[in-house]
Structure 1
Amino acid sequence: MTRTAIVTGAARGIGAAVAARLADDGLDVALIDLDSDGCAAGVRRINDAGGRALAIGADVSRADDVAGAVTRVAEELGPPTVLVNNAGIIRDNLLFKMSEDDWDSVLGVHLRGAFLMSRAVQEHMTRLRSGRIINLSSTSALGNRGQANYSAAKAGMQGFTKTLAIELGKFGVTVNAIAPGLIATDMTAGTARRLGMSVEDFYAAAAEQTAVGRVGRPEDIAHVASFLASEGASFVSGQVIYVSGGPAD
């Protein structure tokens, strides 16, 4: 029986790489992002390779959008048994410059989005007594200047992960988090530009601070997500795996 996965924030970057890898692993994949057109290329690549994929436009911070998206996935691809909560935004600023909207929007997409998506899919997973929830945290959960909102959201994601692991384990559902270091994506390239640095210099400086001497790639995260989604990871739950090219402080 083919399993069905949902990946949020799947239009580009980490989400797109995770969706492609899960499709390579033989799963049917629903790619969710604010604009379904942004996922069209990813869906086309998966379908052209012989897989099954579906693009859905939804705001994960809105309960109605989430309910509609999960219902559509279940009807068109089958009940979801893998969920990757990857959707996220950044609104970086120092605390005294940070607006309430900067705070609310970041926590809304990351934490509220993960809550709503997990609550919606757990009905399918617990009924089937099988499931994998993979949440994207970050090394920023340990603290990062100018990211009070993002750091709080990513730290919250770790507590959320551990709690769901306790609640859902008896139903055959594992819940884990991946905490990436700096990954070369459009989002981090945007950070470089906001800091007044070239993307190349920004990545080079980050690589110098990384034990393996390079920044991460979206595929690095996809490999770990692939394992956590697999049957072989059935005894791994409630864990936060730092994928940052070295020890996390």
Structure 2
Amino acid sequence: MSKRTVLITGSSRGIGAAAARRFAQEGWGVGLHCHTDLARAQALAQELRALGGPVGLYPGDVAERAQVDQVMEGFLQDFGHLDVLVCNAGLARQELFTDISLDSWRQMLGVNLDGVFHCCQAALPHMISRKAGKIITLSSMWGQVGASCEVAYSAAKAGVIGLTRALAKEVGPSGITVNCVAPGVIDTAMNGALSPETRAALAEETPLERLGTPEDVAQAIWFLASPAGDFFTGQVLAPNGGFII
């Protein structure tokens, strides 16, 4: 049987990098994607190749359909088939709703929601032809309940959940599952601008009394990708430490 393969968008750091390591440790062929941090992605590719499995690197902007098509083309050329697509690339920004410019709004939805749309559309013809495949999207707990001063981000991430649920119904008869992971407050660069006081307050507000790690989220992604997740579709897994219940 050919090696299982995964393509992970936004995998140069944080949750994406942790997920890539998890799949590589299991012997999968791993496609890394990045947009702005090519050097970090190249270092991760080198690290994963040391584990013995095939690794490919495919730069591009998920908000641009032509670039997503190139990423998918390159991946399929190198690996031959795609078993799991992880739509992880994301952008976060805090600003008052009345201060959001149209460009900022479009950028937030372009990366966080349009990017998922582009990646799914690029991958699905291949998966449908094989009658097999798994798509795992990344939302956020703010996509479930909304966050003050993060209206654009919350709207985009809520859209990811809606896309996931609807697409799961549409492609289920083709043997394809579509699920979502909605993390809580995770200790990544995306939250790196938070002050120590804010981080401590968020940890205290979390019933498990700590911030999540990228590895916590990678485990949820791995569960859905593994045989243990075969009968899950249209679901939202929420590794958030109990922050929202």
- Normalised TM-score (structure 2): 0.96
Alpha-carbon distance between aligned partners in 1 of 2:81 and 2:157, rounded to the nearest angstrom: 28
Match of residue 76 from structure 2: 74
Match of residue 130 from structure 1: 132
Partner amino acid, structure 2, of 1:177: C
Deviations 1:160-202 (A, max 9, x none): 0001100111111100000000000111012x1xxxx2xx333
Q: What aligned pairs does 1:11-30 form with structure 2 within 5 A after superposition?
A: 11-30=12-31
Alpha-carbon distance between aligned partners in 2 of 1:116 and 1:225, rounded to the nearest angstrom: 20
Q: What aligned pairs does 1:74-93 form with structure 2 within 5 A after superposition?
A: 74-93=76-95
Q: What aligned pairs does 1:197-208 form with structure 2 within 5 A after superposition?
A: 197=195, 200-208=196-204
CA contact (8 A) 2:10 2:16 kept: yes
Identity of aligned residues (%): 39
Partner amino acid, structure 2, of 1:116: H
Match of residue 7 from structure 2: 6
Alpha-carbon distance between aligned partners in 2 of 1:186 and 1:247, rounded to the nearest angstrom: 20
Cα offset for 1:78?
A: 2.2
Tell me whether 74-83 or 218-227 shows the greater mean CA deviation.
74-83
- What SS class does the counterpart of residue 244 from structure 1 fall into? coil
CA contact (8 A) 2:23 2:30 kept: yes
- Does residue 161 of structure 2 align to residue 165 of structure 1? no
Match of residue 120 from structure 2: 118
Partner amino acid, structure 1, of 2:32: L
Partner amino acid, structure 1, of 2:152: N
Partner amino acid, structure 2, of 1:68: Q
Cα offset for 1:247?
A: 5.7
Partner amino acid, structure 1, of 2:100: M
CA contact (8 A) 1:81 1:121 kept: no
Alpha-carbon distance between aligned partners in 2 of 1:207 and 1:54, rounded to the nearest angstrom: 36
Match of residue 101 from structure 1: 103
Match of residue 209 from structure 1: 205
- Normalised TM-score (structure 1): 0.94
Match of residue 214 from structure 2: 218
Alpha-carbon distance between aligned partners in 2 of 1:214 and 1:88, rounded to the nearest angstrom: 23
CA contact (8 A) 1:91 1:102 kept: no
Q: Unaligned regions of 5+ residues in structure 2, if any?
A: none
Deviations 1:36-60 (A, max 9, x none): 3331111111100111111111001
RMSD: 1.1
Deviations 1:119-151 (A, max 9, x none): 111111111111110000101111101001000
Alpha-carbon distance between aligned partners in 1 of 2:68 and 2:56, rounded to the nearest angstrom: 15
Q: Unaligned regions of 5+ residues in structure 1, if any?
A: none
- What SS class does the counterpart of residue 180 from structure 1 fall into? coil
Deviations 1:8-46 (A, max 9, x none): 011110111111111112211111111433311111111
Partner amino acid, structure 1, of 2:20: A
Cα offset for 1:231?
A: 2.0
Match of residue 143 from structure 1: 146
- What SS class does the counterpart of residue 184 from structure 1 fall into? coil
Match of residue 157 from structure 2: 154
